[in-house]
Amino acid sequence: MFDYRSAAQEVLRTEIEALKQLEHYFNQDFTKACELIFANTEGKVVVMGMGKSGHIGNKIAATLASTGTSSFFVHPGEAAHGDLGMIEPGDIVLAISNSGESSEILALFPVLKRLNIKIISMTGKPHSNMAKLSDLHLQITVPKEACPIQLAPTSSTTATLVMGDALAMALMQARGFTADDFALSHPGGALGRKLLLKLSDIMHTGDKLPLVTPNTVVRDALLEISQKGLGMTAVVDDHQQLVGIFTDGDLRRILDKRVDIHSAIIGDVMTINPTVATPNMLAAEGLNMMQDKSINGLILCDQGKVVGALNMHDMLKAGVM
């Protein structure tokens, strides 16, 4: 029986060695490439690559774009048939080819030079035509491919991807790119909801907000809880300032003590100093608070005044959890 596990482990060892080699290429040329892109505040980084290099280039362009560096991918073959018009003076081309001899990319160099577009090449051959004709060269030479017949791009594509990630992350830090900036380019899906959605976006307000005063009879407070459907009610004074909370859990507690819900008032059985949040808190932070405190609802206050409420079901509907 073939030893699949040993074959996989050999691939891993080979690619790890390739990445160790890559550290030597974070040199002055890498610094200059970063500085060139960072200083180019008007243009975009246009990534090009054929075959497997093109697949990696697509990912590099996406990573650059999502971390503060305007970027997109152009297929060299399509560029030669009209898409070159997408590249404008002031842009920077990042050309990727392990051999450094991609004919499709080299054919574009004269036009790019005529447009005075700076070219950064990323190749495994520092003496290749692409490397020589580029303004800057990022080396990605690997000792060998992980492919046992040395044909399928493996270690070389991994090294290319890591070099692209290093470029994007270095630029990201130089720009002071923050989590808030990242969120603005990822508004969709779970990531966007965690980074953008605030409690104010999902809280209940106005007539949907459960409120009672301390002198409210427990029976009437239960009607408020039932009508508003949050499993709790805030207890407020005449100025809407929070003085306590009464929840389904509190109800079970007083029933165990045989408290008469028809005569007892909320002020005597409520929970004082409850966990509260503010409307501008991220929904993800509110969820963490609820999970840490093992509670199912939150009262939201602004300077002590109750302005909203929500429960775990609201978090679920909003896709925060």
CA–CA separation, 244 and 226 (whole Å): 18
Q: Model confidence over 109-152: pLDDT tens digits?
A: 999 999 899 999 999 999 999 999 999 999 999 999 999 999 88
pLDDT at residue 320 is higher than 80: no
Q: Work out the average pLDDT over 29-34.
A: 96
267-275 contacts at long range (C-beta below 8 A, 24 or more positions apart)? 267/214, 267/215, 267/235, 267/243, 269/218, 270/214, 270/235, 270/243, 270/244, 270/245, 270/246, 271/244, 271/245, 271/246, 271/247, 272/243, 272/244, 273/244, 274/242, 274/244, 274/245, 274/299
Confidence of residue 284 (pLDDT cuts 50, 70, 90): confident
**Using an 8 Å Cβ cutoff, are 294 and 229 in contact?**
no
Identify the pLDDT of residue 42.
83
The conformation of residue 286, written as its DSSP 8-state character, comes to H
Confidence of residue 194 (pLDDT cuts 50, 70, 90): low
pLDDT at residue 186 is higher than 60: no
Q: Model confidence over 220-258: pLDDT tens digits?
A: 999 999 999 998 999 999 999 999 999 988 888 888 888
Amino acid at the residue 198? K
Which residue shows structure tokens 């093109």?
Answer: 54
| pLDDT: which is higher, 2 or 81 | 2
Which pTM value belongs to this model? 0.65
What is the SS3 assignment for 244?
Answer: strand
CA–CA separation, 222 and 216 (whole Å): 10
Q: Which residues have a Cβ under 8 Å from the Cβ of 72 and sit 6 or more positions away? A: 44, 46, 47, 61, 65, 86
